[in-house]
Structure 1
């Protein structure tokens, strides 16, 4: 995957949330909480991690993802992973 900027990563995460969980695109904002605002559960979070691993080609460690609470946290996590390449 080529170097992505924050907006591109956000778009990828948003697309994943719409595609995987049928969340309304308008609800997916950087500050939206995955669990409270978007009604994801821990199983959904695992599905999201697997999807992002496939998109990025990088392994996401579960402990890194435990700290994720908002859509922006997901974006930042992916950006960090991509920097490690």
Structure 2
């Protein structure tokens, strides 16, 4: 997956899982403050990231994620880009 495909997939997943509007999901959107994603939602997102990458994700690594762009960066890192 390239960065554009990762971004598209994460946007779609966030719309489906959290009922968000697609235009609200920007690279600078903050997960907790702007998108109202709580810690339980974050776990669901980590599970989905694991599913699409096929790799084990350390929850500690996810604690530094604050924006949608950070999520894309984390997934891209799992793919070794």
TM-score when scaled to structure 2? Answer: 0.95
- Cα RMSD, aligned residues only: 1.1
1:13-62: CA deviation from partner (whole Å, max 9, x where unpaired): 10110010110001000000000000000000000000111111111111
In the alignment, is residue 77 of structure 1 matched against residue 70 of structure 2? Answer: no
Matched residue of 1:43: which SS?
helix
Distance 2:16 2:52 in 1: 13
Segments of structure 2 that go 5 or more residues without pairing to the other structure are none
TM-score when scaled to structure 1? Answer: 0.91
Segments of structure 1 that go 5 or more residues without pairing to the other structure are none
